[in-house]
Amino acid sequence: MRILVTGAAGFLGSHLCDRLLSLGHRVVGMDNFVTGNRTNLDHLKSHSSFQLILHDVANFIEVEGPLEGVFHFASPASPVDYLELPIQTLKVGSLGTHKALGLSKAKGARFLLASTSEVYGDPLVHPQPESYWGNVNPVGPRGVYDEAKRFAEAMTMAYHRYHNLDTRIVRIFNTYGPRMRPHDGRVVSNFIVQALRGEPLTVYGDGSQTRSFCYVDDLVEGIVRLFERGGPEPTNIGNPHEFTVRQLAELVLRLTNGRSAIVKQPLPTDDPKVRQPDIRRARETLGWEPTVTLEDGLRRTIEYFRGHMA
């Protein structure tokens, strides 16, 4: 296949490009580098099956030649990014999704939307199945990301129902691994960078809030399977093993041989208290579940940061 990946220079987008190329596909990467990192794609510069286009997907998208697939991954995706770039976040989720869907329709390409567990908001149902509609504050500071993704899902389903477009929606839960940005505000990268620098580890609230952490290789495998054999209904892809933020901090300190203190900061507005995917749909329809333990994944991620921190 010839496949377009928007947000190709991002943490997830770049890993996805690698995986699609390894499967023998030709990949067109697209990014405007607002939050993407050019160095994530440096190793593909001379790859004969990879092409990079500099473009903002909120504007009309034109790609010459055939396309059989579109993976729409363009979006600020960390709290630091979408709080600093609220308008861009809303535009890429709405206008960008519309443009990417329009391109898929014009090319007759299968479309996969990268959505997020944030569509569930601060959930009142635990763990979160795809049937749960969520508990989202549309006018809070996190609403620019949550509602952009909820709108993107609605737009994707509209194209599926009205235009009979072949679509997929993946709801991505907390993911970590190499190529995360050191200061992107995500809890795993925050803790690793702080521990390696001997700085206090910053825990928001009392650290009892929970997250479920999926290693990037597992996540990409689930996404590829969803693209190949999934259906149009949203599908959770994430690790169902739940940890408190405090447990994560203590594990990072152990794996880095860190001596840092753990300090508490006020909990951000609308920060989810729990987050755990119900992955029964992925197990039953894709035969997928994660295989990398949190400890093993953190070891690999810590090794990456050791080699990429100034």
Q: Is 76 in the same domain as 197?
A: no
Q: Is 203 in the same domain as 75?
A: no
Helix/strand/coil (H/E/C) assignment for every residue in 6-67 = ECCCCHHHHHHHHHHHHCCCEEEEEECCCCCCHHHHHHHCCCCCEEEEECCCCCCCCCCCCC
Q: Is 117 in the same domain as 203?
A: no
Identity of the amino acid at 18: D
DSSP result, 267-285: PPTT--S---B--HHHHHH
Q: What is the pLDDT of residue 201?
A: 93
Q: Is 62 in the same domain as 132?
A: yes
Domain with residue 181: its CATH number is: 3.90.25.10
pLDDT digits (tens, 9 = 90+) for 117-138: 999 999 999 999 999 999 999 9
Q: What is the pLDDT of residue 91?
A: 97
Quote the CA–CA distance of 35 and 9 in Å, as a whole number: 8
pLDDT digits (tens, 9 = 90+) for 267-287: 777 677 888 999 999 999 999
Size (the chain), residues: 310
pLDDT digits (tens, 9 = 90+) for 215-260: 999 999 999 999 999 999 999 999 999 999 999 999 999 999 988 8
Q: What is the pLDDT of residue 78?
A: 87
The one catalytic residue in 145, 159, 176, 215 is 145
In DSSP terms, 175 is beta-bridged to 214
145 is catalytic: yes
Q: What is the pLDDT of residue 310?
A: 61
Measured between alpha carbons, how far is residue 212 from residues 58, 142, 237 in Å? 31, 19, 11
Q: Is 148 in the same domain as 83?
A: yes
Q: Is 101 in the same domain as 249?
A: no
| Closest to 145 (Cα-Cα) out of 118, 107, 165 | 118
Mean pLDDT by 10 residues, the chain (310 residues): 97 98 98 95 96 97 97 93 93 98 98 97 93 94 95 98 98 96 88 94 87 96 98 97 93 93 82 88 98 97 88
Q: Is 52 in the same domain as 155?
A: yes
User: For helices 187-196 and 245-256, what crossing angle results, to 10°?
Assistant: 30
Domain with residue 124: its CATH number is: 3.40.50.720
Question: Which structural domain range is residue 295 located in?
Answer: 177-210+242-275+291-308
Q: Is 153 in the same domain as 181?
A: no
Tell me how many domains the chain contains.
2
Q: Is 12 in the same domain as 104?
A: yes
Q: Is 132 in the same domain as 183?
A: no
Contact yes or no for 81/89 (Cβ under 8 A) = yes
